[in-house]
Amino acid sequence: MAIKVNKKNFQAIVLNSELPVVVDVWADWCGPCHMLAPHFAAAAEEMKGKARFVKLDAEKNQKLTKQLQVMNLPTLLYFKDGKLVDRNSGVVSKGAIISRLSPLLNKEDRPEKAGSWWQFWK
């Protein structure tokens, strides 16, 4: 299960993490955010112990969301060593999340590359 972050714990949980972190910036009123949720949860389960997955409620953390320059919901932010290194907006699959995350992982934690283009949608 993803950890909920806010302005008070963002530094400790995201920026000080030894693992790569994927931040799901979402809002309860956002339909696409709810469509992304099962893919995000599945990626979090598959990458447990290799990366940290957290959720940031954009409505309750508007100042932090603005500081992170989030313009659309849902947005996924990818952090490594306390630095924002990648982002994407919109609904994406579990496979797409893991593909974006893979370069940030230690070599031994990286999943095997998909053999066919259709595996992108897994």
Closest CA to 109 of 23, 18, 1: 18
Whether the CB-CB separation of 43 and 97 falls below 8 Å is answered with yes
**How many Å apart are CA 94 and CA 114, to the nearest integer?**
13
What is the phi/psi pair of residue 69, to 5°? 60, 40
Q: What is the C-alpha separation between 40 and 29, in angstroms, rounded?
A: 17
Point out the residues that are catalytic.
30, 33
